[in-house]
Amino acid sequence: MTTHGPYPQPTGGIKATLTGGNTVGATLREREPRADGYRHLDTPALIRRLLDLNANTYLYCIWDCAGDYDDLVDEFMPAAAAAGIDVIPYIVPPTETSDYGRASRPYRLDYVAWAKAFAELAVKYPNFKAWAIDDFEVGNNASLFTPEYMREFLAAAAAISPELRFYTCAYFGMATNAEFLDKYGEFVDGIIYPFLDGPYENTTIAGSLARSMDEILALTDPRGLELIPLIYTGRFLDAPLHATPEYCTATLTTTAEYVAAGKIPGVVSYGTQLDDGPAPTVENKAMYGNGRLALVNSRARAAAGSTASATQRVPVDPRLSRYEVSFWYHRWFLANGIEPGRYQLEMLIDDTVVWTMDLYEQRWPVWTNGDGMEGPVDVTKYVAGRNEVELTFRLHVLQETAGQMIDVGVDHVESIGLGVRNGGFEENSDWILRGSGPVFAVYDHYLRDRSARIFAAISRVYAGR
């Protein structure tokens, strides 16, 4: 096991941020290229934004640009030291190394050279606290990170800077795997755990964070390993929906409570947008306005019978002789291989299914009104003579599924004879949302200033407000 002891935490614990692959606006670069042909890191601007964020630690990702390491050595380390910001460089394994694109340069896959270079920086700068390598066990990475090789490069670092700490990234499946932790526990001081709703792989459900951390801590604490959760505050490419300000506030508040209780040393906000740019317009999936109902299944395994639904109790106008419900829906298949009979969209009156659509069969990539040949649904026989009924829209998993992500939008719900409220889903009200396992229902609202709201939310939590 490691012998470095507890992380030398700054006041209030680690409050960090990290850019990453295909995140939007998370890296600040100079407008014009320098003589070497690269747009270098805008160190003064980045330091200002980190201070605005109330971050005390920066996980410096060396991946995007060939000049990133030189910028770290020549400009960022001294500037961060002057600003009181700790630094943890983050480099990538073979699976994220390209000959012509992104790679951790200049040493690429020579982790002995990286270890020596980082140790020398740690000797020079007391705010150089640790370094990390991403994803030991993704793809064939484990074939490189053998015990013998890890002892070699960590010994090279320890010979120069004995107290330099080292971490790796472990998703939920690995973080809760005793074999994985035993395999690498000798070499790492802890794991950086990207939180994705436990095993369910989304950045929407915040309520499972404490339970997920407790499950991991039950394994890491006895092994003397630290747990540093990473919260997606930008975008995770495999998540059905992007994080919201409310999600970021909830998750970071939970981690702050765990820091205060001495359970974890701190937290990392990942992909936090620093450039104040607007949210991409493609993120607005509403038919009209900025809101829709989203019925979603992630890549995780969902049992047959799992559902996500939105229900509203509505009054029935007794004066009419005919009643109908009109609604529009759009489905996005976010994975290949969706078969017939896998997912069904349903409308219910009380507990009776009155309309269905196999989402494999409806292939038009547009908003559709009911069945394309049907339009609004006549519900007269289900509501006539009633004072009120429950109206429900439901995504139903008909067969067990895994790796087959889907996002179904419902919008513009209108009715003849039923008093439907918030049919455009523009407000977080009126509907009761339910889900099970990885299948969930949520109000999905496009926020043009989402990045600014998330930045402000992180800043407030990091400031302890």
Which residues have C-beta within 8 Å of that of residue 143, sequence separation ≥ 6? none
- Mean pLDDT in order along the chain per 10 residues (465 residues): 75 93 84 95 98 98 95 98 98 93 95 99 98 94 96 98 97 97 97 97 97 99 98 89 97 98 98 92 96 95 97 98 97 78 97 95 85 87 98 97 92 98 99 96 97 98 96
Residue 33: the pLDDT is 95
Structure confidence by residue, pLDDT tens digits, 436-456: 889 999 999 999 999 999 999
Question: Which residues pair with residue 61 across a beta bridge?
Answer: 90
| Sheet of 432-434, strand order | 352-358, 343-349, 388-397, 307-315, 432-434
Q: What is the rounded CA–CA span in Å between residue 411 and residue 329?
A: 6
pTM: 0.95
Residue range 291-445, CATH number: 2.60.120
Cis peptide upstream of residue 106 (ω within 30 degrees of 0): yes
Dihedral sign computed on CA atoms, order 23, 26, 32, 35: negative
Question: Which residues pair with residue 191 across a beta bridge?
Answer: 168, 227
Whether 391 contacts 312, CB under 8 Å: yes
Amino acid at 109: L
Amino acid at 108: R
Residue 335: the pLDDT is 67
**Which residue ranges make up each domain of the chain?**
14-280+449-462, 291-445
Residue 1: the pLDDT is 41
Which CATH architecture fits 14-280+449-462?
Answer: Alpha-Beta Barrel (3.20)
Helix (H) or strand (E) holding 47: helix 43-52
Residue 404: the pLDDT is 87
Which residues have C-beta within 8 Å of that of residue 33, sequence separation ≥ 6? 39
The SS3 call for residue 445 is: strand
